[in-house]
Structure formats: C-alpha cells, structure tokens
Structure 1
Amino acid sequence: MAIDTTSRDSNLPLIDVIAAEVRRHGVEPVLVPNEDGSKANLIATFPAADGSTHGGIVLSGHTDVVPVDGQDWSSAPFEPEIRDGRLYGRGACDMKGFVGAVVARIPDIAAQPLREPLHLAFSYDEEIGCLGAESLVKDMVGRELRPRACIVGEPTSMRVIHGHKSINLFRVEFHGVAAHSSLTPRGVNAIEYAAAFARFVRGVAEEFRDEGPYDDAFDVPYTTCTVNLIEGGIAVNTVPAACTLHFEFRSIAAVDSHALVDRFRSELHRLEGEMQAENPEARIDLRVVASAPGLDTAEDSEVVRLATEWGGTASGEKVAYGTEAGLFDQGGIPTVVCGPGDIAQAHSPDEFVDLDQLVRCEAFLDRVLAHLRL
C-alpha cells in the first residue's frame, strides 16, 4: 500500500486505514483532529483483560513525512520498493517502517488477553514542529490513561535513546522604512537590523560552545543556536523596509529554554528601540513557529530497562535531533526512543530502511506483546 502523507497534505487517508484495522479488531479509536479537520491524531487503546485502560505501554509514531521536492530518486518515492535487502520509499526509515510494523501486529494484539493495556498513538505534523503530538498527549493525560512506559519508534538503529535536545523555531519580522538608497537617513534598514540580530544569535551559540554547559552523552554536547533562513529587500537601490529571519536553538536539559527565549526577546526589544529612534513606525515582530521539549530520561529508569529487555540495544546515548518523546515525558509518561533504521537515511533521496532492521523491530514488538499478555 502506498499513501503520500507529506506534511503539507492531509494524513487522513492513512489514519482512515489504521482506524479501520483497529475497529476490525474490536476497538474504537480516538481521533484528535487539527483545527480545520484536515488532519488527525489516532489513539487506540487495547484494554487489559479486566477492562482496564489505565497504565500499560504506548507505541508511538508520526504519520507525516517530509517532501521529495528537488530530490533525485532512483525509484518512485511513494511506491515501496524492495531491492538489495532494503525497503525504499519516502518515510520507509522516518518512520513508516515502525508504524507499519505496529499496525501489522494489531491482529496479534487483539488475539490474546492482556494483563495491561496497550496504547497505539499516531500523530500528524511531527516533521514541521511536533504540532500534532501536543494535542495527542493532552488527550491521553485528560483521559487519565497514565501509561507507565512509551516507545517512540523514530529511527535509532534499534538503540535505546534516553535523551534528546529541545526544538525551538522562531520567525522574526523586521519592519523598517523604505527610502531611496541615496537618502539613507530617511529610511530604516530592516536587513541591517536583521543582520545585527543574526550576529547576536551567533554570539550566543559561540558562548554555549566555549562555556557550556555540556552533556557528553550528545555527539554535539552543548546547546546550539543558528540562523537558517533570511529574506529581505526589493532592489539594490532601495533601503529595505522588510526582512524576515528564521532561527532556532536546540538546548540540552541543563539550559533553561524559557530563559533563553527571554534573552532573545530582550535583544530584539533593544534593537527595536534603536529602529524606532530612527523612525517610530519601525518595529520587530517575533513568532514562535514550533517548540517541543527535550527528553532526559534517567538511564536507570524502568522504561530504559524494559526497552533493553525487549531487544533494544543499550547505548547510554542521547541524540541532537528532536522527537515527540519529550512531549510524552512532559505529560508524565516515561519515554525512550527506539526504532528501526538509521537517521542518516531520513529525509534523503532514496530513503531506505534495511530489512534486517525491520526484522529486529518486529522481534522487539513481539517481546512487548509477550510482556503484556496474561
């Protein structure tokens, strides 16, 4: 089956397929839609033999994928193809390999009585900022499901990952005043002020690099900050009235992300004052595009032990990329990241997952079910 769930489009065709399979096995899923109803999260709880829906284990994954625009593929990106011991296709690694393996086990989940419930949690729009998982976790918390462990099946080569950095994405709009470039005192140059802020972001990044704090479990052991997109100006002889800048930071647990946001806001307020000293009509607008908390699960926690017993490779590692695991953790659900495939293949042309990784994932899921059965 091939379903294109690129984030800019709806994920409902896939959610409908999963919902139908869940219903076929006697469980009514909970659908949590986005504001316009074009996308939805799905939560399916297979209750324990005594009817209980509280506690148990969560298996979680996101249903969306990144675009293939401008990428050169050797095969149709939205048609699965197996060759040379690999499954190729957009999302094969990130993360439909895991989602597919879980859905394929729904008949097994429903076939035998469970001593604890098993929850399936599939989200939308992870790739553009973990947008769907926030309402998904809120629903689970609101219904007091209180799972004791969650596995987020992002590609880790089946290593048990107990931590990752936060994700914080921002859009800053600098509104200056246009003027002919021969009359610069009459204008306020939005690009120049954006450039000043970009240099400030770089300075903060250098401070974290040189002074820490550090966490050596990460391959990049400190908080990173970077300006990744900037657009402005209309002509070479016009003082630019508008410039838009996008920046991000990814923080380790030792850094207060709220305090860091305040630091960036304070600098923007200072720059806005300078702009308005030139012309009171100038201003700066900051918008938070996406924000997802980091994950910092203790290495000796039950969820780490369980994931290792089920076949995940003990690693003691944390990763720089973000996932929805931090949102589950923030909701009081102990969480690790463990899934098939190498993150190096995610988002790339000819994305693939090795078949032996899927075999390991299937064995992992079988052990989860064995652990839950009466």
Structure 2
Amino acid sequence: MTPTASTLRELVAFPSVCGEPNGAIIDWIETFLARIGARIRRIPGDRPDASSLFASIGPDVAGGIVLSAHSDVVPVAGQDWTADPFVLTERDGRLYGRGSSDMKGFLACMLTSAARAATRPLKRPLHLAISYDEELGCLGVHSLLRALDSAGTEVDGCIIGEPTEMRVAIAHKGKIAFRIICRGEAAHSANPFLGRNAIRLAAGMVEALDRLQEHIRATETHDTRFTVPFSTVQAGLIQGGCALNIVPDLCTVTAEMRLVPTQDGAAYLTWLKEATAGVIGTVGGGTITLEVMNAYPGLNSPPGTDICSLALHEAGQNSTTVIDFGTEAGLFEEKLGVACVVCGPGSINRAHKADEYITRSELDRCDLFLEGVVDRLCQ
C-alpha cells in the first residue's frame, strides 16, 4: 500500500461514529503528528468525550494554509455491507470502508502531506484542522474555531477536503434545523372534543411548511448555480401521541431549511411563527413554539481569492463549481474571516451508503494536489 492507503486503513478501523467518543482516533492522529514534529493543540469539545486537533508544520509565523477534515462518520446500522465497514477492503482498485470518501480519504492525504511538509523548507506554515461531529450539523468545529479565534490565529486560506471528485467548489447552501413543538390537551378518545389534538396542530404546521416552500420559490432570487436554485424547507420527523385511545397533547415536527448563501433564514422562521396563530385558531386552542436546534451558514466565496487560484492550479482546472451539501467552510469564513474552498477526493454520491469506497487513483490525485500546495508554501 502507499503511505496514504496505509493511513486510510488505520483511520477506517476506528468506528468514530458521530455523537460517540472520539478519543481513540484523535489519539492515533496526535501520535502520528507528534512523530513528525508538528506543533499540536488538542482542543476540548463542547461535550466531554470529544476533542479536535489543530496542528502546524513549518515556521511559527502568521499565514499559511489550513487543510481541514472531520474525523467522524455516519452510522452503519441497518445497512447491508458486503464486508466489515470498519476494515478497509480492496476490490478492483476500490478501497471500501465507512468514511473512505466522507472524509477519511482526505484526512489520510492530509497526514501524508504533513509528513512530506515536515521534510521541506517551508516559508509559511501548513496547518491541519481536524474536527468531530460534522455529520450532526457541523457541531464539533465550533469549539475548534473559538480556540483559534481566541489565540488570534491568522491564516491565508483553507481547503475543506469534503468529497468533490477534486473539483474546486466555492459555494454551498446553509442549514437551519428546527423543531415545531405543538401542545394540545389530552382527553379520552371516546369524546375527542374535550381535548385539543396536538397531532392536528402538527398537521397544520406541516401544511404551513408546504406554503412556506411555495412562498420561497415564488419570491426568492434564484441562484441558478445550484440544482435546486432556491432555498428549501421540509419536515423530516414527526413524533406524537402515546396511545390510540388518548387525544394526544404533544406532537413535535422536526424540520430543516437548506438556504441559498444569500439567505440567513430569519425571515422564514418569522413567517412560520406568524402562521402558528392560524393553525391554533383552526384547531381551537393549544400552543405552538419553534425551537432552532442547529444552524450553519452557507459558503459563497468569490472565485478570485488566492486559495481558489491555488486550488484550481493544483487541481488542473479552469473553473469552479458549487455543491449541494453543507460543509464547515462557511463557519471557517464566518468565525476566522479566512477564504475557503471545498475540494477533496471521492464522491458524495458514495457517502452515507453501504459499501462506501474511494479509489486508489483518487487518493493519488489528491496526494499530488496537496504536494503542490506544500510546494507553494516553500516559495
């Protein structure tokens, strides 16, 4: 195996599922980086059993380039894998394993580039940022970015290595995840008119989400770079009721918005809050509250930044693209004021599925790409 494929084998062996303790994989990465002489900061997470890493190689000066990856993966429960998802398995040039594309492949390439950079006469530093719980909505990177901001960290650009098939992406949508909590009044189902049915309240709010979607489609300025050129809203989960013969007094709808980069979603949340009065009036009582669970901004970076020009050159491309999935890039731009691109090996179409894989040639291409980045830091 190449050094990168060998490292990927080690990384895949850690079942670093989002929401679970990540100490084992962070320990392994920290040991790897310490062995090559990197300056390492281990940053406690916002939950006690998780942490992030920030490492630097080269001169201890402002500037340099950040390579960023998350260490967590999505669960494998309920998926029909043809081999152990936490054992890297090769068939016909494909390396199968959970996280191989999303995004331990890039993480392995990062570590290879770090080892090479440690032997080079860098004039600017190479930084590595490794987060956790990205798969839960970019949760873990917040503590990392706070620590870097508090330390006054200044960098020239950031490459988020999510799987883009090595295309250079400069934009993606943001996200708001929220709950609609509907409270009614319980009663015996023999006379349901004595109660206030929370599921009816929830059904009214699901219809309101549909009306909001049509409002967005009709009024929002469309961004034709995206497959769906406007913001979207949809209900993903409904939980309510405890027994068939009880009028339910609680029902919760969990929903999300995917927002074009020019929208922050505040006006749409206000629209929904105003819609609650009509729903309550139709049911004849009850309460409805909205609770934001998590949010991250979109990315909308101009194509003329230095990091974009560098990425395009090293990727051998002439034009940028946009992606339909979210990343931590918008948070890096918002919290640190650093220009970002998203570019990494593998395909998002293979992520989150059984038999996720990356190819050897994709890893080789990314290794060459990052070798060019390290070369630039020597100039």
Q: Pick the TM interval, shorter chain.
A: over 0.9
The alignment status of 1:30 with 2:52, answered yes or no, reads: no
Query: Quick check: 112-121 or 177-186, which moved more?
Result: 177-186
State TM-score, norm by structure 1. Answer: 0.93
Correspondence for 2:308 among 287, 304, 318: 304
Say if 1:55 and 1:116, in contact at 8 Å, map to a contact too.
yes
Question: How big is the shift at 1:266?
Answer: 3.3
- The aligned residue for residue 125 of structure 1 is 133
The alignment status of 1:328 with 2:332, answered yes or no, reads: yes
Say if 1:43 and 1:120, in contact at 8 Å, map to a contact too.
yes
Secondary structure of residue in 2 paired with 1:358: helix
Secondary structure of residue in 2 paired with 1:168: strand
- The aligned residue for residue 365 of structure 2 is 360
Deviations 1:65-94 (A, max 9, x none): 000010000110010011111110000000
Distance 1:220 1:115 in 2: 43
Question: How big is the shift at 1:234?
Answer: 2.4
1:264–1:158: structure 2 CA closer, same or farther, 3 Å change rule? Answer: same
Query: Quick check: 94-103 or 6-15, which moved more?
Result: 6-15
Give the total of aligned pairs.
Answer: 367
1:82–1:315: structure 2 CA closer, same or farther, 3 Å change rule? Answer: farther
Deviations 1:224-269 (A, max 9, x none): 100011111223332111111100001112324222233333334x
Say if 1:159 and 1:314, in contact at 8 Å, map to a contact too.
no
Distance 2:146 2:372 in 1: 28
Correspondence for 1:71 among 79, 88, 92: 79
Question: How big is the shift at 1:138?
Answer: 2.0
The alignment status of 1:284 with 2:292, answered yes or no, reads: no
1:13–1:31: structure 2 CA closer, same or farther, 3 Å change rule? Answer: same
After superposition, the CA RMSD in angstroms is 1.8
- What 5-or-longer segments of structure 2 have no aligned partner? 1-9
Distance 1:134 1:369 in 2: 27
Correspondence for 1:16 among 16, 27, 33: 27
> Which amino acid in structure 2 is aligned with residue 310 of structure 1?
E
- What 5-or-longer segments of structure 1 have no aligned partner? none
Distance 1:63 1:9 in 2: 11
State TM-score, norm by structure 2. Answer: 0.92
Question: How big is the shift at 1:283?
Answer: 3.2
Say if 1:81 and 1:89, in contact at 8 Å, map to a contact too.
yes
Deviations 1:114-166 (A, max 9, x none): 11111100000000010011221222222222211100000000000000000
Say if 1:312 and 1:338, in contact at 8 Å, map to a contact too.
no
Query: Quick check: 360-369 or 31-40, which moved more?
Result: 31-40
Distance 1:10 1:216 in 2: 40
The alignment status of 1:157 with 2:165, answered yes or no, reads: yes
1:172–1:109: structure 2 CA closer, same or farther, 3 Å change rule? Answer: same
Secondary structure of residue in 2 paired with 1:172: strand
- The aligned residue for residue 322 of structure 2 is 318
Deviations 1:181-222 (A, max 9, x none): 232232111001111111111111122234432111111111
